[in-house]
Amino acid sequence: MYDKLKLTKLIEVLRQVCGQFPDVRTGQNSIYEVQDAGMSAFSVFFTQSPSFLAHQRDMQLRKGRSNAKGLFELHQLPSDNQIRNLLDPVDPIYLHPFYRHTFIELEQAGLLEGYRSFANQLLIAIDGTEYFSSRKIHCPQCSHRVLSNGETRYFHSALTPVVVQPGNEAVVVLEPECIVAQDGQEKQDCEIQAAKRWVTQHGAFYARRGVTILGDDLFSRQPFVEVLQDTHFHFLLVCKPDSHPELYQTVEFLAANQVLGTKVVRHWMGKYAEIHTHRYTAQLPLCAATEAPKVNWCELTITREDTGVVLYTNAWVTDFAVSDTTVEAIVRDGRARWKVENENNNVLKTKGYHLEHNFGHGSQHLAALLLSLNLLAFLLHTILDRVDEQYRTIRHKLGARRTFFQDLEALLRYFTFDTWEAVWAFMFHGLELDTG
């Protein structure tokens, strides 16, 4: 049923994509292929084992075969320095076809239909994250910030769009967009410029599939909202009072005159009740500009009934019509925006993928390319969890993600396997999961 989403097939396609990487070498020293360098870097991220390649070189010497060749289709095993040198000139845009391939295969397999939400939309949450920081190492692609002590901190960051769904822990990673030094020094300017590029490059493909863009308050500004409208994306963006004073003056006026839409819902939480108060209105100017786009506004405040303590409050602007019938679903989707941080960026930073670790900085594109390969490793594990029952059962049985990868690292260090199916079967039977 999911033949094209099997790991062996996906690795085969990824190797073909890596085969399109440019090779800028002009001399005779071309014993290692750039394609192998790309797959070697990916193998480290997929196994979450920094020493994976060293173990496989040793295994190749001892046994004449290795998992690097059997599982990742590597013809030769370049050293870490050779990998960095070969990949530094490669723009991460060369990996975009693989992101698009996996999205299309997930779509054709029907696996994205389960992610659809209000108005049958896919929700794409966008957010920026840093993935490299140093006070000494830097390159022309680095952004920088002057610290309070006068020192300069250099860093790389990227916009990381993901498909999310309320109540679903699994996110689907899409093509990242690197934030570059030319985007500016302020977080708002940098992320918005990167987001505009992403929409310009990929909007035509995703928007026609029915997509709502989720974003924090940085993105609910006129220039970006107009880009979304021009690209035919729907939007649901956080909107705070301190950044939208004119809009909130109108909201306060409508509230004072008791003409805001209001819906109150009581939710029993087992030991106490929460009161969810929704307020909404339509067709407000987003800002004070003469040609400001008109948006619909909604707000959610959650209060503990027995104490009166406010547990949560947030508000959004959207192009969806907000009413008593739709406001709960719209707010639910708006709150899913945090998943780009908790289920994607934080997992990549704290659950073994070491997103912020310096795997290699280089002087051109190395840091950005390694980020993209890391994201692809995360994506393929997400896909495996959806399409491979043995893999999913093993992950559930072992619990902690780190335990799974520790077991995988040990197996691939001491045993050789011809296929990934053989790896999962070995783990499955070793855990006696087939005995009921």
Contacts for 371 with CB less than 8 Å, ≥ 6 apart: 92, 131, 156, 158, 176, 178, 355
Quote the pLDDT of residue 138.
74
Quote the pLDDT of residue 64.
84
Quote the pLDDT of residue 357.
54
Quote the pLDDT of residue 63.
85
Quote the pLDDT of residue 435.
47
Tens of pLDDT, residue by residue over 80-119, are 899 999 999 999 999 999 999 999 999 999 999 999 999 9
Indicate if the pLDDT at residue 436 is higher than 60. no
Indicate if the pLDDT at residue 176 is higher than 70. yes
Tens of pLDDT, residue by residue over 271-314, are 999 999 999 999 999 999 989 999 999 999 999 999 999 999 99
Quote the pLDDT of residue 46.
95
Tens of pLDDT, residue by residue over 142-151, are 777 777 787 8
Mean pLDDT of 318-345: 87
% of residues, the chain, pLDDT over 70: 92
Q: Which band of pLDDT confidence, cut at 50, 70 and 90, is reported for residue 345?
A: low
Indicate if the pLDDT at residue 354 is higher than 90. no
CB under 8 A, 24+ apart: contacts of 103-108: 103/172, 103/174, 105/4, 105/5, 106/5, 106/172, 106/383, 107/209, 108/4
Tens of pLDDT, residue by residue over 231-269, are 999 999 999 999 999 999 999 999 999 999 999 999 999
- Report d(CA 87, CA 78) in Å as an integer: 11
For tokens 């547990």, the residue is 311
User: What per-residue string of b and e applies to 267-280 under the rule 16 or more CB within 10 Å gives b?
Assistant: eeeeeeebbbebbb
Tens of pLDDT, residue by residue over 38-77, are 999 999 999 999 889 999 998 988 888 899 999 999 998 9
Please, what is the average pLDDT of the chain? 90
Mean pLDDT of 9-19: 97
Mean pLDDT of 419-425: 95
Indicate if the pLDDT at residue 26 is higher than 80. no
Q: Which band of pLDDT confidence, cut at 50, 70 and 90, is reported for residue 203?
A: very high
Indicate if the pLDDT at residue 16 is higher than 90. yes
Q: Which band of pLDDT confidence, cut at 50, 70 and 90, is reported for residue 24?
A: confident
Mean pLDDT of 178-195: 74
Indicate if the pLDDT at residue 218 is higher than 70. yes
For tokens 């707000």, the residue is 299
